[in-house]
Amino acid sequence: MNLAEGIRFVCTILLSVMMIGAALGVVLFENIVYSAFTLAGVFMSIAGLYILLNADFVSAAQVLVYVGAVNVLILFAIMLVNKREDFKPVPRRWVRKGSAALVCAGVFALLATMVVKTSWPTDLSLVPPVSAVELIGEHFFSDYLLPFEIASILLLMALVGAIVIARRESIVGEETALVGETPPPVLELPERPREPVA
């Protein structure tokens, strides 16, 4: 085992441990903010594994999209809402936890047997491409054109939906307070009643 292989081996172990630990953290932390931060750890470890697999572009894209955009937005939403709420302890909570753990263990066993039983084609003679970006681009515009375009339409739909939800047409200048009478403070953005879409 030379230097490069040793580093690769140690990195694989380290990244896997990090990823599993962080993933467990996402599920097991009571505080949702911690879960969101450990989710970033999961994404980063996956990016590290991509680097070990010679997929540097995919790895950078993983960091950019999942850590830089998705995770930041999740955190942003959590912190903007920031509702400190103590939940009432649910009676017989252990039943729910136990069944969830059982289902998870079942799925894990299923996937593990799948991984072990399948004979993966390992072609060690395959040389990683020099420029992965060009290869990915060529695939996007030839044999993967349809999934690529469908994904972009999906994103467009999400965009339009977000704008529709976010665009509140608030009413300005319709205060009905009488003189000498303080109206109760309204803590909501006034919204114009919307006609139901036929």
Partner 1 sequence: MNPGIDLQQRFVETLMGYGLSPGAAKAVWLPLPLLLMLIGATVGVLVAVWLERKISAAAQQRIGPEFIGPLGILAPVADGIKLVFKEDIVPANSDPWLFLLGPVIVVIPVFLSYLIVPFGQNLMITDLGIGIFLWIALSSIVPIGLLMSGYASNNKYALIGGLRAAAQSISYEIPLALAVLAVVMMSNSLSTVDIVNQQSGYGILGWNLWRQPAGLLLFWISALAECERMPFDLPEAEEEIVAGYQTEYAGMKFALFYLGSYVNLVLSALLVSVLYLGGWDFPIPLDLLAGLLHISPDNSVLQIVTGGLGIVMTLLKAYFFVFIAILLRWTVPRVRIDQLLDLGWKFLLPIGLVNLLMTAGLKLALPFAFGG
Residues interacting with partner 1, by CB under 8 A? 2-3, 33, 37, 40, 44, 56-57, 60-61, 63-64, 67-69, 71-73, 75-76, 79-80, 82, 130-133
**In whole angstroms, how close is the CB of 171 to partner 1 at the nearest point?**
20
Token digits of residue 80: 């903007």
Nearer to partner 1 among residue 76 and residue 94 (C-beta): 76
**In whole angstroms, how close is the CB of 154 to partner 1 at the nearest point?**
19
**In whole angstroms, how close is the CB of 78 to partner 1 at the nearest point?**
9
- The burial class, CB within 10 Å (0-12 / 13-18 / 19+), for 180 is exposed
Nearer to partner 1 among residue 80 and residue 178 (C-beta): 80
Nearer to partner 1 among residue 68 and residue 98 (C-beta): 68
Residue identified by tokens 């200048």 is 173
Nearer to partner 1 among residue 15 and residue 63 (C-beta): 63
Residue identified by tokens 């300005």 is 172
**In whole angstroms, how close is the CB of 135 to partner 1 at the nearest point?**
11
Token digits of residue 132: 């992965």
Phi, psi of 11 (to 5 degrees): -65, -40
C-beta separation of 18 from 45 below 8 A: yes
Cα–Cα distance for residue pair 33/77, rounded to 1 Å: 10
Nearer to partner 1 among residue 115 and residue 163 (C-beta): 163
The radius of gyration of the chain's CA atoms, rounded to the nearest angstrom, is 25
Nearer to partner 1 among residue 13 and residue 133 (C-beta): 133
**In whole angstroms, how close is the CB of 69 to partner 1 at the nearest point?**
7
C-beta separation of 61 from 73 below 8 A: no
- The burial class, CB within 10 Å (0-12 / 13-18 / 19+), for 29 is middle
**In whole angstroms, how close is the CB of 68 to partner 1 at the nearest point?**
2
Cα–Cα distance for residue pair 32/85, rounded to 1 Å: 11
